[in-house]
């Protein structure tokens, strides 16, 4: 460790304990003086730009330091007072030179509206107001759009804070266009303008401000003295909102919640109170736990993985999950369980291993502060939630965590919980089966292979971008390239979806085939590690072979390019009877002569073609 | 008064990033790079928050040294 990075650890350690506005600012200034080298991996660095209509240094400082607390190396550009338009439009500006990967665009509605807007508001016609709202939206939209086109950054645009005061008073809501509906219209326009964009996100500043208390959002002294738009208390809170996007972008979001049972999922202790005695029902005490479980289930239903870590007799605990009439979370919702008398730190380590995720993806929820302290000490990577003593506040505590964010949700992401739970049941079956083929036969595997359609394209691009292990060539094609392949008659992009008796895995495989009149070349062949070991790759290869034969092709070639991670895919072509291996640099090419060879779908797989 | 001076030097040391024992009454804005206009704003608003008071704009621009700050602070808190 260099001297500077040691100093960095010291200052960050202090601000972590007491992240007040003053300490965040002081830390920001201190870090600026250190000579820190950016890391090699993009995922560990953040180039932040904060631009807008007011003095934004304090906000930028809070986002900067909070991002560093996540372990990121940060360089921060802060735009000048109300010069954001020039900065965005001039391709040689310092903003563009800083080559940001996250841009915060904070524009105050009142910096765009005419100075006499509020004075004449009550006299303006509905149409005039609608036009003004559109102008307001267009003014911000055009800047965000220009940013989207001229950078590759994630762009975070604040929506407008609806004022609490209206000159119309209590009849504001009786007008066809009151001040509140004017701002609602503008905000709706802003959200609509970017609902289809994958890089521009409209940040709900209005609701964050409401949650905090609009009367405390601005410090009027610093506003009039230095055009600082947000108060000392609100600025760090707002920074936390941008941090959600930073976490999602840089792979720092959490994926799994590990739950204690007694006094966490229900009131009381199952081993002592019994299934009739624990508090879990439709009136208080007991309803608090139902509501808490409902929020957990809502997160599960969008892809957060749930697991159990409880000190209990297994049979006592599992009986509640199976038989209690009010229990919301059932056995099937949990990807893994450790219900035993071992220490929780080692149980959590075992859970991480079984689910196959990092400890840094886990959140631990337990009512017992001693257990929490043990886990926090053994595994500082795990987010240990400081649960309140009062179970009525469990739900709110969970809702306020805001650490599970993703930048897009595919169908497969949403069903992740089910997939892990089926994996658990599948591995139980595998342990009881006598041979691997017996095991596969009992799975009722169904494989659906087809050329990619509009619906599957985002998932195919996602798999192409992130699959490392079972990936023959690791060619990372972009969304635009995949769409070009689809339009070309010389290329076929196949997707494979897999289901079995335990659940639907969704689209888990992609193959890209380049066709010429004499032979087909398998340019890419990849499969999610979730389905390795179920011989579904044979089915996808068999489908390509079958299509080639139908087209009267005599030869299929397949390529393999070794990487650090793709050893599981190395022998794919060899295993399936491909021969005449030719090595050319890093690329190995295998050939299957279709006049003498073929690939069949395994008898335990039902192939569905479309 | 020592309590006030302690809290004041907490603020100055945090905003200006200097050790508390380096803060003397004749430390001047003009001679000290870290005490720029943004830092000055920070110091003023932190004092306002901590001591629950408020500075007039004329007072803000008239503060040139730590001594000035202490003087105006004790005046205002004395009233």
What pLDDT is stored for residue B25 in this prediction?
Answer: 94
- pLDDT tens digit string along A294-325? 999 999 999 999 999 999 999 999 999 999 99
Chain A residue numbers with beta carbons less than 8 Å from the beta carbon of B42 are: 22, 25, 58
Residue A215's pLDDT is what? 97
Per-residue pLDDT of A327-347, as tens digits, reads 999 999 999 999 999 999 999
Q: Which pLDDT value is given to residue A31? A: 94
CA A203 – CA A105 distance, rounded (Å): 10
In chain A, the residue whose alpha carbon lies closest to the alpha carbon of B44 is: A222
Query: Which residues fall within 8 angstroms of residue A49, CB to CB, at 6 or more apart?
Result: A76, A77, A78, A79, A95, A98, A100, A102, A103, A104, A153
For the stretch A508-517, pLDDT in tens is 999 999 999 9
Q: What residues does each domain of chain B span?
A: 2-77
Integer Cα distance of A341 and A418 in angstroms: 27
CB B32 within 8 A of CB B16: yes
B interface mutation test: which of A225, A228, A234 has the most B CBs within 10 A? A225
Q: How far is A49 from chain B (nearest CA, A)?
A: 19
B29-40 average pLDDT score: 92
Specify the pLDDT at position A529: 80
Do A22 and B42 lie within an 8 Å CB cutoff? yes
CB of B77 within 8 Å of a chain A CB? The answer is no
In this complex, do B15 and A222 lie within 8 Å of one another by their Cβ atoms? no
Nearest CA in chain B to A227: B41
> In angstroms, rounded to a whole number, what is the distance separating the alpha carbons of residues B65 and B79?
22
Quick check: A60 pLDDT over 60?
Answer: yes
Label residue B79 by pLDDT band (50, 70, 90): low
Is residue A431 pLDDT above 80, yes or no? no
pLDDT of residue A502: 79
Mean pLDDT of A452-461: 89
Lookup: tokens for A372: 């929490």
| Mean pLDDT, range A203-229, rounded to an integer | 97
* Residue range A487-503: mean pLDDT, rounded: 91
Nearest neighbour of B17 by CB, restricted to A26, A58, A232: A26
Q: What is the mean pLDDT of residues A216-241?
A: 96
Min Cα separation B1/chain A (Å): 23
User: What is the pLDDT, as a whole number, of residue A533?
Assistant: 81
How far is the alpha carbon of B2 from chain A, nearest alpha carbon, in Å? 21
Q: Is the pLDDT of residue A535 over 70?
A: yes
Nearest-CA residue of chain A relative to B36? A29
The CA-based angle A7-A10-A14, given to 5 degrees, is 145
**Confidence (pLDDT) at A417:** 80
DSSP output for A454-510? TTTHHHHHHHHHH--SEESS-----HHHHHHHHH-TTEEEEEEEEEETTEEEEEEEE
Angstroms from B20 CA to nearest CA on chain A: 14
Mean predicted confidence (pLDDT) in A94-118:
95
Cβ distance B46 to A22 less than 8 Å, yes or no, reads: yes
Residue A1: per-residue pLDDT: 53
| ipTM computed for the complex | 0.94
B79/B76 Cα distance (integer angstroms): 5
Chain A residues lying within 8 Å of B60, measured CB to CB: 225
Report the gap between the CA of A164 and the closest CA in chain B (Å).
24
Q: Which residues, 6+ apart, have CB-to-CB distance to A240 below 8 Å?
A: A66, A402
Measured between CB atoms, which of A29, A57, A221 is closest to B45? Answer: A221
Average pLDDT value over all residues in chain B: 92
Which residue of chain A is at minimal alpha-carbon distance from B49? A232
For chain A, give the percent of residues with pLDDT over 70: 100
Per-residue pLDDT band for A422 (boundaries 50, 70, 90) equals: confident
Which among A33, A58, A221 has CB closest to B48?
Answer: A221
B2-77 placed in CATH 1.10.1200.10: yes
Contact map slice: B 29-48 vs A, CB within 8 A = 34, 37-38, 41-42, 44-46, 48
Position A556 pLDDT exceeds 60: yes
User: A37: distance to nearest CA of chain B, Å?
Assistant: 22
**Cα maximum dimension of chain A:** 86
Q: Tell me what pLDDT residue A472 has.
A: 95
């Amino acid at each position: 460790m260099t001297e500077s990075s040691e100093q960095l650890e010291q200052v960050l350690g202090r601000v972590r304990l007491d992240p007040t506005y003053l300490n965040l600012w002081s830390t920001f200034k201190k870090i600026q003086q250190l000579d820190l080298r950016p890391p090699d991996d993009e995922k560990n660095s953040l180039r932040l730009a904060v631009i807008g209509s007011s003095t934004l240094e304090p906000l930028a400082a809070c986002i900067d330091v909070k991002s560093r607390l996540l372990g990121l190396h940060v360089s921060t550009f802060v735009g000048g007072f109300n010069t954001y338009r020039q900065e965005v439009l001039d391709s040689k500006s310092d903003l563009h030179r800083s080559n940001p990967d996250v841009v915060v665009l904070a524009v105050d509605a009142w910096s765009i509206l005419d100075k006499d807007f509020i004075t004449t508001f009550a006299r303006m016609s509905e149409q005039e107001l609608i036009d003004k709202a559109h102008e307001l939206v267009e003014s911000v939209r055009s800047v965000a759009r220009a940013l989207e086109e001229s950078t590759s950054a994630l762009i975070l645009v604040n929506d407008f804070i609806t004022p609490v005061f209206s000159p119309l008073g209590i009849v504001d809501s009786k007008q066809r266009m009151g001040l509140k509906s004017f701002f609602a219209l503008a905000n709706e326009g802003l959200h609509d303008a970017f609902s289809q964009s994958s890089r521009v996100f409209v940040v709900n500043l209005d609701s964050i401000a409401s949650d905090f208390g609009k009367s405390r959002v601005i410090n009027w002294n610093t506003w009039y003295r230095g055009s600082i738009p947000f108060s000392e208390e609100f600025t760090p809170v707002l920074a936390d909102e941008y941090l959600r996007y930073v976490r999602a972008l840089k792979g720092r979001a959490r994926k799994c919640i590990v739950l204690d049972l007694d006094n966490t999922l229900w009131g009381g202790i199952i081993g002592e109170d019994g299934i009739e005695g624990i508090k879990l029902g439709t009136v208080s005490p007991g309803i608090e736990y139902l509501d808490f479980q409902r929020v957990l289930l809502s997160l599960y239903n969008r892809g957060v993985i749930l697991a159990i870590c409880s000190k209990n007799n297994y049979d006592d605990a599992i009986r509640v999950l199976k038989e209690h009439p009010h229990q919301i979370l059932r056995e099937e919702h949990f990807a893994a369980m450790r219900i035993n008398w071992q220490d929780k730190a080692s149980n959590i380590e075992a859970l991480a291993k079984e689910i196959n995720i990092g400890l840094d993806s886990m959140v631990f929820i337990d009512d017992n502060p001693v257990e929490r302290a043990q886990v926090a000490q053994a595994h500082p990577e795990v987010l240990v939630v400081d649960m309140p003593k009062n179970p009525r506040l469990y739900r709110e505590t969970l809702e306020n965590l805001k650490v599970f964010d993703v930048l897009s949700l595919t169908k497969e992401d949403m069903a992740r919980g089910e997939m892990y739970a089926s994996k658990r049941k599948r591995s139980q079956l595998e342990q009881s089966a006598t041979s691997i083929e017996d095991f596969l036969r009992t799975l009722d595997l169904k494989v659906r292979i087809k050329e990619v359609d509009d619906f599957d394209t985002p998932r195919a691009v996602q798999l192409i971008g992130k699959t490392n292990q079972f990936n023959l060539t690791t060619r990372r094609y972009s969304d635009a390239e995949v769409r070009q392949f689809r339009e070309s008659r010389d290329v076929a992009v196949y997707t494979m979806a897999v289901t079995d008796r335990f659940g639907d895995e969704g689209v888990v495989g992609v193959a890209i085939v380049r066709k010429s009149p004499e032979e087909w070349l398998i340019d890419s062949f990849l499969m999610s590690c979730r389905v390795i070991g179920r011989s579904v790759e044979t089915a996808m290869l068999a489908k390509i072979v079958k299509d080639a034969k139908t087209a009267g092709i005599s030869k299929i070639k397949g390529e393999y390019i070794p990487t650090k991670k793709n050893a599981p895919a190395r022998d794919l072509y060899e295993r399936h009877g491909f021969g005449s291996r030719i090595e050319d640099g890093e690329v190995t090419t295998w050939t299957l002569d279709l006049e003498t060879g073929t690939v069949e779908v395994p008898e335990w797989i039902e192939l569905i073609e479309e | 008064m020592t309590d006030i001076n302690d809290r004041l030097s907490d603020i100055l040391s945090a905003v200006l990033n200097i050790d508390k024992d380096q803060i003397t009454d004749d430390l001047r804005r003009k001679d000290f790079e870290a005490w720029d206009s943004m830092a000055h704003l920070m110091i003023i608003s932190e004092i306002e928050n901590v001591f629950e008071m408020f500075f007039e704009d004329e007072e803000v621009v008239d503060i040139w040294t730590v001594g000035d700050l202490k003087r105006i602070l004790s005046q205002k808190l004395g009233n």
